Structure 1
Amino acid sequence: MEARHSALCAEEAEDAVKELRAELAKAGIILPSRGLDPVSFAREAPCPLIELRRCSVRTARRLAAVRR
């Protein structure tokens, strides 16, 4: 059961990254280093975190503007 839960979490995380990538692209924002955090897979019951990593000041401001 735990393996099934972990697989569903990983699938959901991949879908979320794809969705985020698509929505940010529509806004003209690219985060080149986004993806799944490999360390979060090492937990006893893996449920990955989405890593957004670094972005430029310009990109950070554009993300903030989208939020407004």
Structure 2
Amino acid sequence: MGERKSKEPCKKEACDIQACLTKNNFMPQRCLRVIELLQSCCERCKYNSTHCGSLSGLLEMSAK
């Protein structure tokens, strides 16, 4: 069997954001770096991950 790409290429980044938000009292402006990492991942996989759906909401929240 060859290497198969994960069906969820951005799962790690999404989990990192959840951990960061939990640690920082759900203040997305404190998690900009991990949010940017998820955005980069979503761009790389052409948003072909269920974890990219929440990205726009996170970006809106972090801008506040």
Tell me whether the two structures share a fold, i.e. TM-score over 0.5. no
TM-score bracket relative to the smaller structure:
0.3 to 0.5
Structure showing greater Rg: 1
**Structure 1 length normalisation: TM-score?**
0.37
Kindly indicate which of the two structures has a greater share of residues assigned to strand: 1
**Structure 2 length normalisation: TM-score?**
0.39
Kindly indicate which of the two structures has a greater share of residues assigned to helix: 2
Higher RCO structure (Cα 8 Å, ≥6 apart):
2
